[in-house]
């Protein structure tokens, strides 16, 4: 019995890493009059579905995927949300 | 000494490197398709510039999983020479053969220019044909060349003398104004602790043929040909 999960993965720059693109976008928003905007950080959003025996296994696999490829731990952090999809598949 | 130039889908400086090695320096050189896994016939592996696998996700991130790069990691672990130029440098950091990462240029632009570089160390094959402190001019062409490493990694790099090239001005002063892409400590090229793996953003292969008006890069390849005796001399 396996479950199908949908994962929403957010990859963001580590706080210590400068984000020149974020700074440029922030300056654009200020030009539009949004003087109240601060601390813009631009990241990546990845979504995927995967099958796994249970939620713990799905999370473990996602951690590995992020560490190995989806994020570069030198400059990026990641977090993800896991949603169990409606139809569970049985083997 | 036999050279191999790795060709990924999206590599675009592979033929430039091969032309230098074969036609200017008369060295046996073969192109290595990214799906090859046996590179045991090679003495020096060069990972050229370009946009490997479209640089999807991050520059160099996908190339790292190719059979040719896995073989390159084994080659490096045996102490043999590996050099990454531009995208090749990005691939080497993604693969963990070199510390740190290459990020978007500080000013967000792709920079295509000629820059001054200070040669920091000359006791390695890569730089032994230069003079210590010498200023050379090499072309750069990159959008993601801003070198970043955390504070501990950076101080270890400096303490171990792993920075081989720094962006500088014409009088060899390493200044913020001469830091074209915002790299930490003006870093343009580094080696691993052992010294057998080099990564650099500038393109020495584009400054090797006298027909192009600048041969400052040629000495890097000539240094490699001078011998490997210096590898491991420090660290």
Q: Is B109 a catalytic residue?
A: no
Of B34, B75, B142, B203, catalytic: B203
Q: Please identify which of the residues B13, B59, B86, B146 carries the catalytic annotation.
A: B86
Domains in chain A, number: 1
Please indicate, yes or no, if residue A67 is contained in any of the structural domains: yes
Task: Tell me which residues of chain B have a pLDDT lower than 70.
Answer: 228-235
What integer pLDDT is reported at residue A85 of this predicted model?
A: 85
Least CB-CB distance to A17: which of B58, B108, B148? B148
Q: Is residue A39 part of a domain?
A: yes
User: Is residue A17, in this structure, part of any structural domain at all?
Assistant: yes
Q: Is the minimum CB–CB distance between A33 and chain B shorter than 8 Å?
A: no
Residue A31 within any structural domain of the chain: yes
Q: Is residue A91 part of a domain?
A: no
Who among A16, A70, A72 is closest to B101 (CB)?
Answer: A72
* B51-to-B3, B21, B193 alpha-carbon distances in Å: 21, 21, 27
From chain A, the residues in CB contact with B65 under 8 A are: 69
Q: pLDDT class for A84, splitting at 50, 70, 90?
A: confident
Q: What DSSP line would sit under B97-159, residue for residue?
A: SSSSEEE--TTSS-EEEEEEEEE---SSTTTTTSPTT-EEEEEEEESS-EEE--HHHHHHHHH
Which of B55, B56, B101 has the highest number of chain A CBs within 10 A, making it the mutation to test binding with A?
A: B101
Say whether residue A21 is in contact with chain B using an 8 A CB cutoff.
Answer: yes
Phi, psi of B225 (to 5 degrees): -70, -25
Is residue A73 one of the residues assigned to a domain? yes
Domains and CATH numbers, chain B: 3-226 (3.40.50.880)
> Per-residue pLDDT tens for B43-95?
999 999 999 999 999 999 999 999 999 999 999 999 999 999 999 999 999 99
Q: Do A69 and B104 touch (CB under 8 A)?
A: no
Each residue's pLDDT tens digit, A24-34: 999 999 999 99
Q: What is the CATH number of the domain that holds A63?
A: 3.30.1280.10
Query: Is residue B86 flagged as an active site residue?
Result: yes
Interface contact flag, B108 A70, Cβ < 8 Å: no
Q: What are the residues whose beta carbons fall under 8 Å from the beta carbon of B176, sequence distance 6 or more?
A: none
Across chain A, mean pLDDT equals: 92
Domain that includes residue A50, residue range: 3-84
**Of B119 and A1, more confident:** B119
Q: Which residues of A touch B104 (CB under 8 A)?
A: 20-21
């Amino acid at each position: 019995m396996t479950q199908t999960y949908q994962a929403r993965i957010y990859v963001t720059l580590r706080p210590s890493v400068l984000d020149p693109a974020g700074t440029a976008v922030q300056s654009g928003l200020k030009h539009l009059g949004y003087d109240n905007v601060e601390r813009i950080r631009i990241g990546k959003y990845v979504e995927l579905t995967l099958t796994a025996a249970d939620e713990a296994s799905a999370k473990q696999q996602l951690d590995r995927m992020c560490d190995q490829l989806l994020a570069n731990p030198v400059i990026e952090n990641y977090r993800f949300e896991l949603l169990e999809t409606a139809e569970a598949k049985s083997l | 000494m036999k050279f191999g130039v790795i060709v990924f889908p999206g590599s675009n400086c592979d033929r430039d490197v091969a032309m230098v090695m074969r036609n200017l320096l008369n060295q046996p050189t073969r192109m290595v398709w990214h799906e090859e896994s046996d590179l045991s016939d090679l003495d020096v592996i060069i990972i050229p510039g370009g946009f490997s696998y479209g640089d999807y996700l991050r520059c160099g991130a996908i190339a790292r999983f190719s059979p040719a790069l896995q073989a390159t990691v084994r080659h490096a672990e045996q102490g043999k020479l590996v050099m990454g130029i531009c995208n090749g440098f990005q691939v080497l950091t993604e693969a963990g053969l070199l510390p740190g990462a290459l990020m978007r240029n500080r000013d967000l632009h792709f920079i295509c220019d000629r820059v001054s570089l200070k040669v920091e160390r000359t006791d390695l094959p890569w730089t032994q044909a230069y003079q210590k402190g010498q200023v050379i001019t090499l072309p750069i062409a990159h959008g993601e060349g801003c070198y970043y490493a955390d504070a501990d990694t950076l101080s270890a790099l400096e303490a171990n003398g792993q920075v081989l090239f720094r962006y500088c001005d014409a009088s060899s002063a390493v200044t913020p104004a001469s830091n074209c892409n915002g790299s930490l400590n003006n870093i343009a090229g580094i080696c691993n602790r052992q010294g057998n793996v080099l990564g650099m953003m500038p393109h020495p292969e584009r400054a090797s043929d006298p027909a192009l008006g600048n041969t400052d890069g040629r000495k890097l390849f000539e240094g490699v040909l001078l011998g490997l005796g210096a590898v491991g001399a420090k660290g």
